[in-house]
Amino acid sequence: MRKLLLIMGCLCCYQLADAAGEEGLSPLRQQQLHHLLLHDCGSCHGLTMKGGLGPPLTADVLLSRSDDDLAMTIADGRPGTAMPPWRPLLDSHEIRWLIQQLRQGVTP
């Protein structure tokens, strides 16, 4: 149990240390988040974000959703669905960055 807590603590420190720059996220963290978007989000929403187990996350579909609504869904998940809460792994700046990427259209 102690090893698990130590590893989790190190990961949190790594994420905090990696956040930097004008937009609050280093190029490395942006690359990591892009990978997460393609592979973790894409595993349910489709690699092209056109839907799968989860609904499509294409730029045109997201026009009807506010950034705050999307951020809440990403942070807290959707109870009763396969959408998990990402708040334990992502901070608000990272979530906003992901939303911005989705609004621009994600390409594999």
pLDDT band at 18 (very low <50, low <70, confident <90, very high): very low
Length of the chain (residues): 108
pLDDT in tens, 30-89: 999 999 999 999 999 999 999 999 999 999 999 999 999 999 999 999 999 999 999 999
Class for the domain spanning 27-104: mainly alpha
Q: What is the pTM of this model?
A: 0.77
Domain boundaries, given as residue ranges, for the chain: 27-104
